[in-house]
Amino acid sequence: MTALDSPGTLTALAGLRPLLGEIGDAKRVRVAGAPGSLAEQAFTRAWARLAGGEDVESVAFSETAAAVARARLAGIDAAVLAAAGMGDDEVTAVLRRAFDEVSEPLDGVLRERLRATLGPLPSPGGAPALAATLNAQPRAGATAPGVARIMVEPPESHGDHCLTVAVYGALVAPVVDADPVQPFLLGLAHHLHNVVLPDAGFAGEVLLGDALERVMTTLEERELAALPGALADRVREVLALRPGADVPEARAFHAADVLDRVLQVHHHARAAAFTASQALDDLELVHAGPVQAYHLDVLAAAGL
């Protein structure tokens, strides 16, 4: 892979990292009345929109913008706000406030393009079966040949990972002079083989040996055959970028993939080290308000 030796590139990636971490937390946020994490819900919706014939570019930019706003709004999306009686202009204003709060590290041109797409997302018909299966298929986590795997609970799903890589790919694209659309679509599609193949991680891939490429191709083609022809052709086109990093779009995808894998490990490490004082002191769990003093008195009396 090409080294990232430009100071501007290194600075841009470092600046993006906190936002990427917040976006990745959508893997772990759920809401009542909808199955799966917010990332899994977006993964399903993106595939449904694509299978329904919507333009890939429209899906890529609007889903990426929604993911950025979701970093702070979590499950409060346009549909929830509309159900609460807010008009379209009010909904867009809320989404833009959330987007603006976190989006400063983004490339300026991309930022404005994403911001312009914020608003209600389409409610498409059924998604291809691959979306539900990848949402149910757990990721292996960190594995290496000849070594027992590190088990972390709960594991993320392939839907979680693929949606997150898609969004990261679009956001990282300007850093490596790539168009955001191809990395987004490749992120969505790069684990099609895991619809059938349970994930044993790198250790399992090594054991498959020379058969690995053939197995992946066979299983990918099985899923592609079930997609509308034009979409299948577009997905094949981006999957061809996956083996190397010799073009900007492939570099954006591989950067997104490795960032998500490592940020996921950092999440589990933080979760394992979490302390009550972090919630009470750093995050001000007992936040300012008219009853804060009373809350603090209660905790003091209880020895907490």
With a pLDDT cut of 90, the percent of the chain lying above it is 75
Asked if residue 183 lies in contact with residue 173, where contact means CB atoms within 8 angstroms, the answer is yes
Asked if residue 149 lies in contact with residue 205, where contact means CB atoms within 8 angstroms, the answer is no
Residue ranges per domain, the chain?
Answer: 7-125+155-273, 275-304
pLDDT-based confidence at residue 107 (cuts at 50, 70, 90) = very high
How many degrees, rounded to 5, is the angle at CA 93 between CA 91 and CA 94? 70
Query: Does position 1 have pLDDT exceeding 60, yes or no?
Result: no
The tens digit of pLDDT for each residue in 17-56 reads 999 999 999 999 999 999 999 999 999 999 999 999 999 9
Query: Does position 2 have pLDDT exceeding 60, yes or no?
Result: no
The tens digit of pLDDT for each residue in 147-174 reads 888 888 888 999 999 999 999 999 999 9
Distance, CA of 122 to CA of 54 (rounded, Å): 10
Which pLDDT belongs to residue 7?
61
Q: Which residue has the tokens 């990332």?
A: 39
Which pLDDT belongs to residue 195?
98
pLDDT-based confidence at residue 125 (cuts at 50, 70, 90) = confident
The tens digit of pLDDT for each residue in 246-272 reads 999 999 999 999 999 999 988 988 888
Average pLDDT over residues 61-78: 97
The tens digit of pLDDT for each residue in 284-300 reads 888 888 888 989 888 88
Which pLDDT belongs to residue 121?
92
Chain mean pLDDT for the chain: 93
Q: What is the pTM of this model?
A: 0.90
The residues, any chain, with a CB within 8 Å of residue 286's CB and separated by 6 or more, are 280, 292, 295, 296, 299
